[in-house]
């Protein structure tokens, strides 16, 4: 009886253990990829809306009358450069160089601010010329598509500043590195979307 009781109370053999390892970073990245896919659907709908409505000028100004390609090219270069500098930040993060990581993140943020500033200046100029979003279906779809992208960049800048504060206070911890990796995906995603905006909206609009 004693042997049977001891056998029941004894821990199970090593081979019968069911181990489960939790990797929060895997769940975080999977959730963020799902978010990016939903954002892809959002921008796909906005591109489709512009494709349908972009030719309805309502006897108002069209792309050739409004768009200034040199300014748009400058704005595009700001976002492309910010993507490159964020890549440098990720390289320094992998080397555990906190100061260099923060420096490249700050440069990335400056390029992002320059991009948003130029975009807001363009919007203000259009509205001043009487080409606001209520003027025609073309302008409504234009302001919606480009403005949504600009809001995403603004959110990315706020997120970037928040992470810089966290890295300053807590260093390059695994949690902060995971958050920086998520922001990297988000930032490069916005870069790809903007290339589509530049080609489909600005370039094709002027050449049409």
Give tens-digit pLDDT for 100-143. Answer: 999 999 999 999 999 999 999 999 999 999 999 999 999 999 99
| Angstrom distance (rounded) from CA 140 to CA 175 | 41
Select the more confidently predicted residue: 186 or 1: 186
Select the more confidently predicted residue: 25 or 55: 55
pLDDT at 25: 59
Average pLDDT of the chain, as a whole number: 89
DSSP state of 61: -
> Is the pLDDT reported for residue 98 higher than 60?
yes
From 10-14, 45-49, 74-78, the region with the lowest mean pLDDT: 10-14
- Planar angle of CA 67, 73, 75, nearest 5 degrees: 95
The pTM for the full model equals 0.85
Classify domain 66-203 by CATH architecture.
Up-down Bundle (1.20)
- Helix, strand or coil, per DSSP, at residue 172: coil
pLDDT at 9: 53
pLDDT at 4: 47
Token reading at 149: 């992208």
> Is the pLDDT reported for residue 8 higher than 90?
no
* Tokens 């809001």 sit on residue: 151
Confidence band for 23, pLDDT divided at 50, 70 and 90: low
Q: What is the mean pLDDT of residues 155-164?
A: 97
| Angstrom distance (rounded) from CA 29 to CA 179 | 9
Token reading at 72: 């748009």
Exposure string of 189-202, with b = 16+ CB inside 10 Å and e = fewer, is bbbebbeebbeebb
Share of the chain above pLDDT 90, in %: 80
pLDDT at 27: 66
Cβ-based burial of 150 (10 A; exposed 0-12, middle 13-18, buried ≥19): buried
> Is the pLDDT reported for residue 1 higher than 50?
no
């Amino acid at each position: 009886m004693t042997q049977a009781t001891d056998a029941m109370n004894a821990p199970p053999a090593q081979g019968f253990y069911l181990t489960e390892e939790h990797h929060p970073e895997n769940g975080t990245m999977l959730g963020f990829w799902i978010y990016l896919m939903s954002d892809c659907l959002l921008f796909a709908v906005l591109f489709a809306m512009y494709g349908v409505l972009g030719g309805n000028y309502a006897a108002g100004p069209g792309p050739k009358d409004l768009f200034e390609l040199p300014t748009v090219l400058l704005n595009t270069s700001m976002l492309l450069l910010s993507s490159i500098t964020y890549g440098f930040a990720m390289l320094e993060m992998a080397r555990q160089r906190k100061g260099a990581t923060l420096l490249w993140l700050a440069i990335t943020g400056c390029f992002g601010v320059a991009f948003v500033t130029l975009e807001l200046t363009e919007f203000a100029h259009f509205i001043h010329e009487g080409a606001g979003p209520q003027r025609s279906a073309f302008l409504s779809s234009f302001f919606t598509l480009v403005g949504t992208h600009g809001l995403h960049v603004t959110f990315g800048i706020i997120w970037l500043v928040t992470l810089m504060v966290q890295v300053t206070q807590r260093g390059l911890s695994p949690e902060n590195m995971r958050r920086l990796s998520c922001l990297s995906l988000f930032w490069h995603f916005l870069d790809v979307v903007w290339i589509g905006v530049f080609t489909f909206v600005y370039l094709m609009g002027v050449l049409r």
